[in-house]
Amino acid sequence: MAADAYARLADTLERLADVVAPNDLAEVLDIEDLSYRTGILRNDVIVLIKGEQVEQRSVTDRVRHRLAFLRTTRRREDGRGYSVQDFATLAGVTRQTMTSWCTTGIPSIEGADQIRRHFGLPAGFMTADEPEALNEALLTELHRLETQNGPLVMPPELRRLALRSPAVAEKTMQLIAAWAMEITSAADTAGDEAQAKEQS
């Protein structure tokens, strides 16, 4: 399962790199925001973006960590941090029960879901492993960047080929785009002619 999550993350990182090229991902992505949205420590986000792996945690460790992370990173309307009692109230349990959840990392499903919903977090926030959680956040970022930048002129594979040499990337891209247009135009013309013959 973890290998699949890392493979999906690698694919998303590659797609993001294509969209932001020639910039570096670390220059474009907001590491602090990714950490805030995923519950992953800032340093682990950096390691994962570099394509490396982080220490794998058990589900209970992830839940315990994410509960503590929420308490330290979120603020109440009055600007103060959330106490154990505040979380207990959100989850509809006693302070003692919440303390137990924070210690054991084993909250009730309903309680964890109420806390997650209060903060507007995705369904798997409490239990997702680090590569899975980061991948979900990066897919949102990828969609935003693709929408902002408009559709790519050419497929990512051709774009990667063109960007291998930054000194000639623009000229190479123009040549490849022209070549691709010539091939697709010839294929379109041939297809139109074949369709006209079938109709007659």
Neighbours of 95 (CB within 10 A): 14
Are 25 and 18 in contact by the 8 Å Cβ rule? The answer is no
Q: Which residues partner with 81 through β-bridges?
A: 75
pLDDT in the model for residue 82: 94
In sequence order, what are the residues at sequence separation of 6 or more whose Cβ sits closer than 8 angstroms to the Cβ of residue 77? none
Confidence (pTM): 0.71
Name the pLDDT band for 119 (thresholds 50, 70, 90): very high
Name the pLDDT band for 158 (thresholds 50, 70, 90): low
Are 155 and 177 in contact by the 8 Å Cβ rule? The answer is no
Name the pLDDT band for 42 (thresholds 50, 70, 90): very high
Are 91 and 98 in contact by the 8 Å Cβ rule? The answer is yes
Judge whether residue 40 has pLDDT over 80: yes
Judge whether residue 74 has pLDDT over 60: yes
CA distances from 132 to 66, 70, 86, 114, 123 (A): 14, 18, 28, 21, 12
Average pLDDT, the chain: 84
Query: How many whole angstroms separate alpha carbon 113 and alpha carbon 183?
Result: 53
pLDDT in the model for residue 121: 94
**109, 64, 101: which is closest to 85 by C-alpha?**
101
Q: pLDDT tens digit string along 7-38?
A: 999 999 998 888 887 778 878 899 999 999 99
pLDDT in the model for residue 8: 94
pLDDT in the model for residue 153: 47
